[in-house]
Structure 1
């Protein structure tokens, strides 16, 4: 009789503990969902980001603007839309934060889980098979997806330090370059001259295009390079439209 009583007492205790644990887990998930929103719970899965270089000359380390902007991202195979994003060009990281109670935290998304993202009407992908041994996490802006040629823009920024009486001031400057995919191979491109080396069969076309649109190359090299690749990739009947 004593054994039976002890057994049922132990069983009751274990059942109570299990029920209490389940209730605690439910409260944890409900609290977390309430903080970040159920739709975006999986998005805020990364490490906290802190900007250590805020004392600048007015420049910033991010793509297009200092502040967050609304965008979309495919993360862990799930598509999130209308979320706050910011692209750090200094360390090649995609950042996000919640608009709710966790908005004080900047989250650095885990690069391996980022497939693509869009901000400022620009689309970016993560390329992992370029075989170019580039630094960073592999984020590239998609500039041209043609029939035979593809062009990607690698946006980067460099940091310079300046010693002032009040401390160190930082300055950020753009240092973009391009990746051209031709015949299944990725190539680093920095100028039309590099393009001629990669596509020697189109050397005369490249020279002619550069001569015609030289001013555009100086004022907006990204637009020039994208239009050049479209020109080289497209049918002859379309070339006069660029």
Structure 2
């Protein structure tokens, strides 16, 4: 398998200077995908994981499953063990914080649970996630995948998607499960991680923008309730922008 991967990389390196000159990223991605098809994804490093079986598939209450966006396979890309794979079928389990890829060969179809420590980042339906390892100032450890909401040279605003399991019990018997969202935001700034839970948290980090932050919260109350992600993105892009502490 390693020999095949090396051959793939060597072929790409030989051809890249000629075919990639003046091409955009989408064109490059199509060439990488073409090589994967020629060599067969069953021969790539994505099989360096373990078989996944969904034991909850027939016990989900009102389609409130554990996955990001959908429990159906969606196309995306993943940087895994130092190599990026494009147009991969995948699902992201938010209860267990694990990425699953759907791979097909000529004879079989498999769902593989990738090894989290080997994942650098992935994109699913245009949502970008990266693996974060570190700790908060209070000492709590961070180790998992976070969606990148805003990123520049001064800070990264990140969102942790999480779903918790709830039991549905009827007539004294466990009938099914539903999964409830429990999301949160963090900020990576000045080489450290900070929790973003309230307006006061943001003001404490950026006291120079105290007035503007309060005014923004007042002006965009409805947006904060209807679309908290967009609210946070607008707040940081318009008010905080690329400010340093």
- With structure 2 as the length reference, what TM-score do the two structures score? 0.74
Identify unmatched segments of 5+ residues in structure 1: 1-32, 237-242
- Asked whether the 8 Å contact 1:40–1:80 carries over to 2, the reply is no
Identify unmatched segments of 5+ residues in structure 2: 1-35
Query: Which residue, out of 198, 204, 211, partners 2:205?
Result: 198
Structure 2 match to 1:19:
none
Matched, 1:154 2:160: yes
Matched, 1:126 2:131: yes
Query: Which residue, out of 61, 64, 79, partners 1:59?
Result: 64
Instruction: After superposing the two structures, state which structure 1 stretch, 76-85 or 141-150, moved more.
Output: 141-150
- Asked whether the 8 Å contact 1:89–1:155 carries over to 2, the reply is yes
- Asked whether the 8 Å contact 1:59–1:171 carries over to 2, the reply is yes
Instruction: After superposing the two structures, state which structure 1 stretch, 174-183 or 88-97, moved more.
Output: 174-183
Structure 1 match to 2:182:
175
CA RMSD for the aligned pairs?
2.4
Cα pair distance change 1:38/1:184, threshold 3 Å: closer
Question: Separation in 2 of the partners of 1:83 and 1:97?
Answer: 7
SS of equivalent to 1:43: helix
Question: Separation in 2 of the partners of 1:227 and 1:179?
Answer: 16
Question: Separation in 2 of the partners of 1:53 and 1:209?
Answer: 42
Structure 2 match to 1:47:
50
Cα pair distance change 1:39/1:92, threshold 3 Å: same
Structure of higher CA gyration radius: 1
Deviation at residue 134 of structure 1 after TM alignment: 4.3
Aligned residues: 201
Question: Separation in 2 of the partners of 1:203 and 1:184?
Answer: 22
For each residue in 1:126-169, what CA deviation from the matched residue of structure 2 results, as whole angstroms up to 9, or x when unmatched? 1123456346x510111101342320011111110011357431
- Asked whether the 8 Å contact 1:44–1:97 carries over to 2, the reply is no
Mapping for residues 183-222 of structure 1, pairs under 5 Å: 183-222=190-229
Mapping for residues 129-148 of structure 1, pairs under 5 Å: 129-131=134-136, 133-134=140-141, 137-148=143-154
- Asked whether the 8 Å contact 2:42–2:103 carries over to 1, the reply is no
Query: Which residue, out of 107, 112, 116, partners 1:107?
Result: 112
- Asked whether the 8 Å contact 1:146–1:230 carries over to 2, the reply is no
For each residue in 1:99-146, what CA deviation from the matched residue of structure 2 results, as whole angstroms up to 9, or x when unmatched? 33332x3211001110010001111111123456346x5101111013
SS of equivalent to 1:138: strand
Structure 2 match to 1:13:
none
Structure 2 match to 1:164:
170
- With structure 1 as the length reference, what TM-score do the two structures score? 0.75
